């Protein structure tokens, strides 16, 4: 099963689960939902969400998503990230993980641990 990962504040994800659909601000602002591959999650969390302590990483089954996953490097970062150009059904989620930090305060992510 192919999967992708999305970083979200726990309260936002709980609210989405209550209605069955997740529409982050990026969908309205940029037209898509940002995702990561497992090896990209920690770097994204450390770059964008260092000050947050309420993060979850939600794992989604690609085949359960209503729209295709598009791999692209939209910011000329030299690395492609998965994006979905539609709202996300919370039923597409297959797992949730709490973000943890190491002793230096950096986020670490290992979905298999």
- In this prediction, residue 113 carries a pLDDT of 55
The dihedral formed by the CA atoms of 93, 22, 29 and 6, expressed in degrees to the nearest 10: -20
Query: pLDDT tens-digit profile of 28-37?
Result: 999 999 999 9
Ordered by where they begin, the domains of the chain are 3-108 (3.20.170.20)
C-alpha pair distances (Å), 97 with each of 9, 54, 72, 85, 86? 11, 11, 25, 24, 23
Query: pLDDT tens-digit profile of 42-88?
Result: 999 999 999 999 999 999 999 999 999 999 998 888 999 999 999 99
- In this prediction, residue 98 carries a pLDDT of 94
Query: pLDDT tens-digit profile of 81-113?
Result: 999 999 999 999 999 999 999 999 999 998 875
Query: How many C-beta neighbours within 10 Å does residue 84 have?
Result: 22
């Amino acid at each position: 099963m192919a999967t992708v990962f999305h970083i979200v504040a726990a309260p936002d994800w709980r609210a989405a689960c209550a209605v069955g659909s997740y529409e982050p601000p990026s969908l309205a602002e940029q037209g898509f939902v940002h995702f990561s591959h497992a090896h990209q999650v920690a770097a994204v969390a450390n770059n964008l969400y260092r000050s947050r302590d309420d993060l979850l990483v939600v794992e989604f089954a690609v085949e359960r998503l209503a729209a295709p996953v598009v791999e692209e490097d939209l910011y000329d970062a030299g690395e492609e990230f998965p994006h979905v150009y539609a709202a996300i059904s919370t039923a597409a989620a297959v797992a949730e993980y709490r973000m943890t930090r190491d002793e230096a305060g950096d986020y670490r992510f290992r979905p298999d641990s």
